[in-house]
Amino acid sequence: MPVRTVAIVGAGIAGLTAALAFARKGVAVDMIEKAPALEEVGAGLQSFPNASAVLDKLGVLPALEKLWFEPDRILLVSGSSLKPVSSVPSGTFARQRWHMPHGVLHRATLQSTLLAAVQANPLCRLYLGQQLDAASEADIVAVTGRVPDLVVGADGVWSALRRTVPGAKAPRFSGNMAIRFVLDSATGATVFDPTCVTALLGAKTHIVAYPLREMNAFNLVAILQGGGDARSWFRSMSAWDLTAALAAFSNWNPAIQHLLATAPNPTSWPLFQVADGPWHVGSSTVLIGDAAHAMTPFAAQGAAMAIEDAFELAAFATGTGPLAPALAAFEQHRRARIAKVRARGAFNRFAYHARGPVRVARDIVLSMRPPETLASDLDWLYGYRALDEAPVSTPRH
């Protein structure tokens, strides 16, 4: 039986993207969100060409292009000397090589753009302030008034829907934390190139910085070891918290140390991840995004994987055959992609946080490779195009 109605639990980036993807296939969508209002926390994110291609198919890319910034390159820099180590070209190069843009923007900009598209779509209904503790069919019907053909768990790393999937893994602390904050544009430009995404590399630490055009500001995220706290997803940092965390940057350039020490309103984010486990239950429920496979940000692909998941789920789930094998095929297809992205993140973590002789060797190797060659290493990632239809080999009968 074809999917006619879908209930999506969670109205973040994964959920909103899924709503638009299913509506594009003619499916009626009920979105259920526990928050009384959609106010995105966090700071910036990067939309690489693989994600931008999905946003283009959903019709929201033109609105985002008016607001975001397209960096000329991704610049790798020594955190101690501030000397460039290497770079990957972006900007016009990204559009030419991967046929889609690489943009940087605030998370709230992406969420509000997706939300506006959902609210304008007659097939989508949004229910705010609805907490689903068990997320049973009865709970969903009590909110929406109709029985869904499929329930999609897009409710993030602390997913309630994950508890309904036998064998699904609980979140676990990665051993790393993020410090996020936003600088005014003038302050950021005193240290960082305002035309680039800058990744500063150090021993067991790194920082990513880029301009937020729509806010006339700079986004910074510093990654370091420690900081596990399962009681909260994020929290504001006291002066004591920040001072203790900054010990990890004691050998960094003084200009960077000063920026961190004077950071306005920094927040601490323990980085949790979800290990491999089942993502779906028969034909009734499926998880996407962080609910299925939360990962650390070392490949900067968390949002992109959620966007790809959402779009491809709609492709797999809207065929004419049985839904259960379609969801199994979706999980198998996406699991291979996620594993490859995780591996890239693990490699980046090793390379970014290298120290001693390994750091010296890293810098030599990177400096010897032309930027275009480094870009070609990412063709499999940025050149990927999410499927708009399930593969013919998918079991549908």
Express each pLDDT in 60-74 by its tens digit: 999 999 999 999 999
pLDDT of amino acid 20: 98
Angle of helix 302-317 relative to helix 13-24, nearest 10 degrees, comes to 30
Average pLDDT over residues 28-36: 92
Confidence at residue 238, expressed as pLDDT on a 0 to 100 scale: 66
Instruction: Return d(Cα 210, Cα 74) in angstroms, integer.
Output: 9
* Percentage with pLDDT > 90 across the chain: 70
255 pLDDT above the threshold of 70: yes
Residue 278 pLDDT? 92
Structure tokens at 159: 């997913």
pLDDT over 70 at 227, yes or no = no
Q: Is the pLDDT of residue 396 over 60?
A: no
Predicted local distance difference test score (pLDDT) of residue 234: 60
Retrieve residue 129's tokens.
Answer: 């302030």
Tokens of 279: 């993502």
Determine the Cα–Cα distance for residues 142 and 319; give it in Å rounded to an integer: 28
Of the ranges 30-44, 283-297, 355-369, the best mean pLDDT one: 283-297
- How much of the chain is in helix, strand and coil states, percent to nearest 5? 40, 25, 35
CATH code at 315?
3.50.50.60
Q: Look at residue 397 and tell me whether its pLDDT is greater than 50.
A: no
**Contact present, 261 and 272 (Cβ < 8 Å):** no
Confidence of residue 239 (pLDDT cuts 50, 70, 90): low
Question: Which tens digits make up the pLDDT trace of 174-201?
Answer: 989 999 999 999 999 999 999 999 999 9
Is the pLDDT at 395 greater than 60? The verdict is no
| Other beta carbons within 10 Å of 255 | 11
* The Cα angle at residue 213 between residues 202 and 195, in degrees rounded to 5: 50
Q: Does position 167 have pLDDT exceeding 60, yes or no?
A: yes
Cα(51)–Cα(64) distance, rounded to whole angstroms? 12
349 in a domain, yes or no?
yes
Q: In this model, does residue 389 exceed pLDDT 60?
A: yes
Cβ–Cβ < 8 Å for 11, 38: yes
Query: Is the confidence at residue 154, as pLDDT, over 80?
Result: yes
- What is the pTM (predicted TM-score) of this model? 0.93
Higher pLDDT, 305 or 41: 305
* Whether 98 contacts 49, CB under 8 Å: yes
Mean pLDDT, all residues of the chain: 90
Say yes or no to pLDDT of 230 above 70: no
207 part of a folded domain: no
How would you classify residue 378: left for phi > 0, otherwise alpha for psi between -120 and 50, otherwise beta?
alpha
Banded pLDDT at 42 (limits 50, 70, 90): low
Question: Does 316 or 349 have the greater pLDDT score?
Answer: 316
Of the candidates 204, 175, 210, 200, the residue with the CA atom closest to the CA atom of residue 257:
200
Question: How confident is the model at residue 137, as a pLDDT?
Answer: 82
State which residues form the domain around 349. 5-70+101-170+274-353
Strands (E) across the chain are located at 5-9, 28-32, 44-47, 73-78, 84-89, 103-106, 124-127, 150-153, 172-184, 196-202, 205-212, 217-225, 235-236, 267-273, 280-281, 285-287
In the chain, what percentage of residues exceed pLDDT 70? 94
- pLDDT for 54 equals 98
Residue 258 lies in a domain: no
Lowest mean pLDDT among 13-22, 103-112, 115-124, 229-238: 229-238
Q: What is the pLDDT of residue 232?
A: 56
Q: Is residue 373 part of a domain?
A: no
pLDDT band for 363, please (50, 70, 90 cuts).
Answer: confident
pLDDT at 268 over 70: yes
In the prediction, which pLDDT does 394 show? 46
pLDDT at residue number 115: 96
Q: Specify if 187 maps to a domain.
A: no
Q: How confident is the model at residue 263 (pLDDT cuts 50, 70, 90)?
A: confident
Separation CA 9–CA 7 (nearest Å): 7
Mean pLDDT to the nearest integer, 112-140: 91
**Exposed e or buried b for every residue in 81-114, given b needs 16+ CB within 10 A?**
eeeebbbbbbbebbeebbebbbbbbbbbbbbbbb
User: Within a domain: residue 388?
Assistant: no
Question: How many domains, in total, are found in the chain?
Answer: 1
Find the mean pLDDT for residues 289-314. Answer: 96
Tell me the mean pLDDT in the region 23-34.
96
Q: Within a domain: residue 221? A: no
Kindly report which listed range (127-141, 143-157, 299-313, 320-334) carries the lowest average pLDDT score.
Answer: 127-141
Q: Which tokens in the block code for residue 298?
A: 């070392």
Give 359's pLDDT tier (boundaries 50, 70, 90): confident
Q: Is the pLDDT confidence value at 6 over 90? A: yes
Asked if residue 162 belongs to a domain, the reply is: yes
